[in-house]
Structure 1
Amino acid sequence: MPSNAPLTTYQTPILAEWVDYNGHLRDAFYLLLFSYATDAFMDHIGLDSSGRKASGHSLFTLECHLNYLHEVKQGEAVEVRTQLLAHDRKRLQLYHSLHRAGQDEALAASEQMLLHVELAGPRSAPFAAPVLARIEALAETHRALPRPAYVGRVIGLPG
C-alpha cells in the first residue's frame, strides 16, 4: 500500500476455534484481531518488545468502540488496516478496520484511545523523542486520508 494509506497491521485466516454456533466469528475475536493489530502498530512506532523492555514504557487502552458491520466466517483470510487519527504527547487515537484480504469493504471497525505509560508506576508518560518522531511522521502521511465513517460514534437509544 502507498505510504499515505492505512497500515496493514495484521493478517490471518479465521480459525475454527474463533467461530460461534452460528458459523460466524465470535464477537470477542474481532477485538482480539484489533488487539494484535495494535501490537503491530506498537512495533511500527518503536514500542516493540525490545523497545518496551529498554524504556519501561508501553501503551494501555483507555477506550475502545467496536462496530460489527458484516459476517466473517471460518477460513476467510482477513487483514486489519490501521489509521492514526490523532495524537498528543501521551495519547494516540487509532482507527482499525477489518477487511477480507485485498478487499475494500470493512467488515468491522474499532476506534481506540491509547495512553503511553511508564510501567513502573504505572502512570502516564510522554512519548520518548524517537517514538514521537515516528508517530509524527505517520501522522503526516495519514493526515490526507479521509475521516473513517465509524469515528466518534455514541451508543444510545433515542429519548
Structure 2
Amino acid sequence: MAYYHVLFDSGLDVMLASLGLGAQTARDSGSSVFTAQAQVHYLRELHAGDAVIVRSRLIACDAKRLHYVQTMDHASGGWTAAVTENLLLHVDLRIRRVAPWPEATAARLAQAVADHAGLPMPPQVGRRVGLDRG
C-alpha cells in the first residue's frame, strides 16, 4: 500500500511544482500544503518493476484549499491500478495555521481548475467510506 502512496506523492510533487508550489517555493515563502483528507481506491494490483503513469486533475479550489484527484495507470497495459482523491490545505509554516493562498497562487490555481474542467472525472470521486446502514 505504501508504494502506491509514494508514486502518487511523486506525481503530486510534479503537479505542485508546475503550479509554483514546489519545495523551493515552500522554503522561500514560508508556506506549504498539508493533506487534510485522502481516499485511495485500489482497483488492480501492480507488481514490483511495473511502469506507471500518474495523472492529476484539479477539481476545485477556494481561498485556502485545493481538491484534486489522481489516477495511476499501468504504462503498457493502459488499465487503472488506483485512484486517489485528496484535499490540500495551504499552511503558513511560521504560525502552523491554515492561511489564504497568495493572490498570484490563487489565480494560477483557479486557472488550472478551469483548464482541467474538461478532463475525465474518475467514477470514484466523491464516494464516501462506510457501510450501508440498511
**TM-score, length basis structure 2:** 0.91
Unaligned stretches of 5+ in structure 1? Answer: 1-26
SS in 2 for 1:120: coil
Provide the residue aligned with 1:94 in structure 2: 68
CA RMSD in angstroms, aligned pairs only: 1.4
Q: Which amino acid aligns with 2:44?
A: H
Percentage of identical aligned residues: 36
Q: Could you tell me how far apart the structure 2 residues matched to 1:86 and 1:136 are? A: 8
Residue 77 of structure 1, aligned match among 44, 48, 51: 51
Alignment partner of 1:52 is 2:52: no
SS in 1 for 2:3: helix
Task: Please give the per-residue CA displacement for 1:37-66, whole angstroms capped at 9, x wherever unaligned.
Answer: 222221111111221112111000000000
Matches within 5 A, 1:131-146: 131-146=105-120
Provide the residue aligned with 1:42 in structure 2: 16
Q: Is the 8 A contact 2:56 2:71 kept in 1?
A: yes
**TM-score, length basis structure 1:** 0.78
Q: Could you tell me how far apart the structure 1 residues matched to 2:23 and 2:129 are? A: 35
Deviates more, 1:95-104 or 1:29-38: 95-104
Provide the residue aligned with 2:39 in structure 1: 65
Which 4+ residue blocks in structure 1 deviate beyond 4 angstroms?
A: none
Q: Is the 8 A contact 2:68 2:87 kept in 1?
A: yes
